Copies of this chain bind each other. A is one copy, B any other.
Amino acid sequence: MSDTQASDPQASDAKAPDPKAPDASRRSERSRRAIYAAALALVAEHGYARTTVEGIAARAGVGKQTIYRWWPANSKAAVLLEAFLDLAEEAAGGPAGSEIPDTGDLAADLKAVLRATVDELNDPAFDRTARALAAEGIVDPDLGAEFTARLLEPQLRLYARRIEAAQAAGLVDPAADPRIALELLVGPLHHRWLNRTLPLTHAYADSLVDLVLRGLLVRK
């Protein structure tokens, strides 16, 4: 094996930056971002079912083989899942999957993350795409299972860990089920968002946290 990546077949994979070709790497990154943007825009405009790999490629100005090569399995769902994760990270102002901060003040920490979720759901670009994907996941069990496993459950585990930390600190009743407790926080928010019943505001996020914590906190 050579001591450079030049003779390694993996080096031709656009995902692995080639140290000898920084321009190629930048071009790949530009193409990747163009594909994300095209995929998100098409889903927001036309829905999941009418979005095609061909359409994404044409709008992104890349060949459709680029998409099939970079996302070989279940290409449309795979590119959209990745594009949406990227959008969620941008909307959240940081990488998805980062822990909920533990300042020692559980109410403040949960309010901060629920307020950020409210802001995300009120962002028109995020809202349209998230609705299109949610609608498809609701009627397509396979796609829904993939979104739930790869997008939703990792987020829910962050809440569970923050609540478990509060239990370890003696603040939350050890008998409370962290899974059900977190569903009391995210469930109402999503219900209000999906059904457009009442406005999603920071005040609402705060009220949810306060009412849920009334039931969770250890009583003195």
Contact = CB atoms under 8 A, between A and B. Distances in A.
A17 interface: no
Interface string A149-178: 000110010000000000000000000110
Nearest to A136: B135
Interface string A75-102: 0000000000000000000000000000
A211 B138 contact: no
A15 interface: no
A145 interface: yes
A73 to B, nearest CB: 21
Nearest to A144: B196
Interface in A186-202: 186-192, 194-198
A127 B198 CA distance: 25
How many copies of this chain?
A: 2
Nearest to A130: B138
Interface residues of A, number: 46
B180 A191 contact: no
Interface string A101-141: 00000000000000000000000000000011011111101
A138 B141 contact: no
Contacts of A177: 207, 211
30 contacts: A132-B139, A135-B135, A135-B139, A137-B195, A138-B194, A144-B195, A144-B196, A145-B196, A147-B195, A148-B196, A148-B197, A152-B197, A156-B197, A179-B198, A180-B204, A180-B207, A180-B211, A183-B191, A183-B192, A183-B208, A184-B184, A184-B211, A184-B212, A186-B191, A187-B190, A187-B192, A190-B190, A190-B194, A212-B215, A215-B216
Interface of A: 47, 131-132, 134-139, 141, 144-145, 147-148, 152-153, 156, 176-177, 179-181, 183-184, 186-192, 194-198, 204, 207-208, 211-216, 219
